[in-house]
Structure 1
């Protein structure tokens, strides 16, 4: 499958006249809990030739391809990515940490990883994950019977927010690492591991009675993390000249100019 993805990325470069500087897996495969029928969520960052940016017109800064049963593939122009990086965009930070990389020919992604610690806004990111968990909880986990595979789409952002509150660093992308470092051994972890094993095995995890110990944990964390997030100071404004120069240097690296 990796060969198919790499070939598709090369085709996109030709079709769009761009250079892909970084490509990775996102979603459940990167998080460590894919099902047997999970598709591949491929995300990438690309650049156009320098003259493309020298225009008075706004241009599309996203490349998307139709989603099918196997592939969900799309990417962001580097300038868009840097604008989001400036705001500590959690999906972008997750891409940079993905354990599954399809392309990284240049130093651009590694330099962003190195700079991310100093550019990181704990407050922005903890609210991102907390709000994501609340939306997913409201959408998936109401009632006495729930689609229990959806627990992961609430648990993972809660654990990411817990990591930020506890360690004040960018949380790891892998779900297992979050559970191992944040949750003590006991019944809660046992129930999570049972669900994880069932999901990975490809079991049909449809409507089942809710798991009270997981629900209790979720709601306790909502209250606790909301209070903690309010106390985190906002990050001081960054010197934007750095990212402007980063962008120029990236174009020079890719196009040898």
Structure 2
């Protein structure tokens, strides 16, 4: 086990102790999960947790997010399972991405797999298209407008737009791996593909990819894709959804599995 992995597990145990919670699932998010980390990329750890049953029976609302200050290369925060399931009802893309992360630090209970199994039912093409489109549009306007741009920001516009294209093509949750998206959606041998492949090699080799002249070929593609999805986003379906009663039962089952005889509360 690497030093950073050991530090992450230690921090998760500290969170459990200080917050009186149980961590259900912890994974890597961001560039390391997407398959294009730089050598010095942060570790973006995300997790789902559960408080004891008494906390949910209180008349006082509990905070539903736990965040730790970013230190060195570690950025760690998580959501209460109740918040997670509420967002799952809306086909929340970040949560869907967490659940399929290739880097999983912990999966201590059955709840993450239970949510995962419901994902095809809960998936809303329209909701996810709008999420990724807004992400791409915001990053494009913020970072890629000048004659010189931060080259690494191309990945943070390309990936959400390729996620949109995957949803358009397959009507399913897009894969996290950036290279899978590129190979499937950008024709091999095209100038765009060759340019993106070169950038990916540079990024993963440790090249800082700071300010450089904008790459007109990529900018043209991004503008075309943003315009395309702006025009058709409203045409996508909202999916079948998961019944609220199913999510309620999942939440109650998680409470029993995680806390069981340790709680003063019994159903």
- TM-score of the alignment, normalized to the shorter chain, above 0.5: yes
1:221 is aligned to: 225
2:191 matches 1:187: yes
Q: What is the rounded CA distance, in whole Å, between the counterparts of 2:150 and 2:73 in structure 1?
A: 23
Q: Secondary structure at the match of 2:146?
A: coil
Q: What is the rounded CA distance, in whole Å, between the counterparts of 1:228 and 1:234 in structure 2?
A: 14
1:114 is aligned to: 117
Provide the aligned length of Structure 1 versus Structure 2.
Answer: 257
Q: 2:6 aligns with which of 3, 9, 13?
A: 3
Q: 2:103 aligns with which of 95, 100, 103?
A: 100
2:181 is aligned to: 178
RMSD: 1.1
Q: What is the rounded CA distance, in whole Å, between the counterparts of 2:115 and 2:242 in structure 1?
A: 14
Which stretches in structure 1 are left out of the alignment for 5+ residues?
none
Q: 1:5-154 residue pairs with structure 2 within 5 A?
A: 5-154=8-157
Q: Secondary structure at the match of 2:149?
A: strand
Contact 2:151 2:209 in 1 (8 A): yes
Contact 1:32 1:176 in 2 (8 A): yes
After the TM superposition, which parts of structure 1 deviate over 4 Å for at least 4 consecutive aligned residues?
Answer: none
TM score, norm. by length of structure 2: 0.93
Q: Secondary structure at the match of 2:61?
A: coil
Q: Secondary structure at the match of 2:97?
A: helix
Q: Secondary structure at the match of 1:68?
A: coil
Q: What is the rounded CA distance, in whole Å, between the counterparts of 2:208 and 2:37 in structure 1?
A: 13
Q: 2:234 aligns with which of 223, 226, 230?
A: 230
Q: What is the rounded CA distance, in whole Å, between the counterparts of 1:84 and 1:155 in structure 2?
A: 25
Which stretches in structure 2 are left out of the alignment for 5+ residues?
262-267
Q: What is the rounded CA distance, in whole Å, between the counterparts of 1:103 and 1:204 in structure 2?
A: 31
TM score, norm. by length of structure 1: 0.97
